Amino acid sequence: MSVTRLNKTVPAILAFLFSCAPELVLADYRLNMTQGATTISKQVYDLHMLTFWMVSSIGLIVFGLMIWSIIHHRKSRGVKAAQFHHSSRWEAVWTIIPILILLTFAAPATKTLIMMDDTEDTDMTIKVTGYQWKWHYDYLDEGLSFFSTLAPEHNKARQTGSNIDVTKIENYLLEVDNPLVVPVNKKIRILITANDVIHAWWVPDLGWKRDAIPGFVNVNWTELTEPGIYRGQCAELCGKDHGFMPIVVKAVTETEYKQWIEQTKATQEAAVAGADREWALAELIERGQAVYSTNCAGCHQTNGQGLPPTFPALTGSPVATGPIENHIEVVVNGRTGTPMQAFGKQLNTVDIAAVVTFERNALGNSVGDMVQPAQIPAAR
C-alpha cells in the first residue's frame, strides 16, 4: 500500500470508529488510569501524572540528545571520536541527577502511602468478607450485615443455554442484588478478610485494592466526596465463578444513608418473621426459587442439571430425592472435600427451609415433602 493511500485510509477508519461507537473507543479503551472519586485516588492519579510527565520529559531529552549527537557527530561530516576515559565531574553529575529525580518521586509517593495506611479517626467501620462467590458486608457500628451477590438477572443470563442477549443488559456482570451503601464525607475504615480462599476487594474509583485472605485482616479506609455508584470486582483468581463476583459501592447523603439503614433492618426482620409459623408448600417453593437463583444456580445451573462432575445435577440426585434430614445437613454444613459450601451461616432459617423444599419439589424433582423453618435450628 502506498503512503498516499495509507494517509487516506487510516483517517477514514478512525472517523468510522468514532462516529459509530464513540463510547466504545473512548470509554472501553481509555489510555489513562481513572482519576477516582476519593481523596486517595486523586492523590494516586496526581502522583501517576507527575511520574508520567517527568519520565516523558527525561525520555524526550535523552533521546533528543542521542539523535542530535548521531546527526551532528556523524562520520560523513569528518568528525572524529573523542578519546577520553574518565571525568570525575561528569560522573558526579550523572549520579546526582538521578538521585534528585528519585527523591522527587519518593517524597509524594511516601506521603501518599502513609496517608493510605492512616486509619485513625474514622467515622465508621465496615467488615468485608469474601466468599465463593459473593461478598459479606458487616456494618459493625450499626449491627447490620448482609450478603452481596451477582444480580439474579445477570446470573440467569450467563448460564449455559440461557439464550439471553447480554449486550442488552446494562452493566452486565457488574451489578449486585445488595450494594454496599455508604455516606459521603465520612472516613470509613474497611476491614477485609475471607472465609474460604483468597479474594481481592477492588473498586478502581477508590484508588486501592486489598487482598481478602482467610485468617488475616487487611485494613484500609476510604472517603467518598460525591454521591454516586462505583463498581468493581474480585481481582484475585478465586475459583470457577471468579468472573461473576462484582462489587457495587453506592455513596449517598447522610440522610439517605440513615433511611437506608432503617429500611434494611426492617426488611431483614420481616424476612425471618415467619420462622415460628407453619408454611404452606407453595409458599416455600416460591421463596426457595428466589434463594436458589441467588445462591445455588451458579453451580447447579438454573435448570438443576449442574456441571458434572464438579457440580453434580440436583435433578434426580440422591441428596434432593433422598432422606430430608441428609438434604438439610448438606445445605447447612456443606460437604468436606467438595465445592459444596456450608450455607448455615449464609442463609436464615426460613431461606434454608425454603430452598431445600424447592430443590425437592422443582428442577425435575417431585418428592412431595417439605421443610418447616422450625426444623432447621437442630441441623445448625
Answer for the pair 244, 122: CB distance below 8 angstroms, yes or no. Answer: no
User: What top-level class would CATH report for the domain 124-271?
Assistant: mainly beta
Residue 215 DSSP label? T
Place of cell 484475585: 236
Q: Which of 319, 277, 305, 324 shows the shortest CA–CA distance to 363? A: 305
Q: Which of 216, 227, 171, 170 shows the shortest CA–CA distance to 193? A: 216
Could you say which residues of the chain have pLDDT below 70? 1-30, 380
Other CB atoms within a 10 A radius of the CB of residue 211 amount to 17
- The full 3-state SS of 269-323, as one line of letters, equals HHHCHHHHCCCCHHHHHHHHHHHHHHHCHHHHCCCCCCECCCECCCCCCHHHHCC
Q: Using CA atoms, how far apart are residues 139 and 101, in angstroms rounded to an integer?
A: 44
Q: Using CA atoms, how far apart are residues 350 and 372, in angstroms rounded to an integer?
A: 8
Q: Using CA atoms, how far apart are residues 229 and 181, in angstroms rounded to an integer?
A: 9
Q: Which of 205, 288, 213, 265 shows the shortest CA–CA distance to 39? A: 205
What residues contact residue 80 under an 8 Å CB cut-off, 6+ apart? none
pLDDT digits (tens, 9 = 90+) for 339-379: 888 898 889 999 999 999 999 999 999 999 999 998 898 87
- In CATH, 32-77+86-118 is 1.10.287.90: yes
pTM: 0.78
Amino acid symbol at 184: V
Where exactly are the structural domains of the chain? 1-28, 32-77+86-118, 124-271, 274-379
Q: What is the pLDDT of residue 64?
A: 96
Other CB atoms within a 10 A radius of the CB of residue 131 amount to 21
Other CB atoms within a 10 A radius of the CB of residue 363 amount to 25
Q: What is the pLDDT of residue 24?
A: 43
**274-379 to CATH, choices 3.40.50.2000, 1.10.3720.10, 3.40.50.300, 1.10.760.10:** 1.10.760.10
The CA radius of gyration of the chain, in Å to the nearest whole number, is 29
Q: What is the pLDDT of residue 352?
A: 94
For 8, the enclosing helix (H) or strand (E) is helix 3-20
Q: What is the pLDDT of residue 21?
A: 46
Q: What is the pLDDT of residue 44?
A: 92
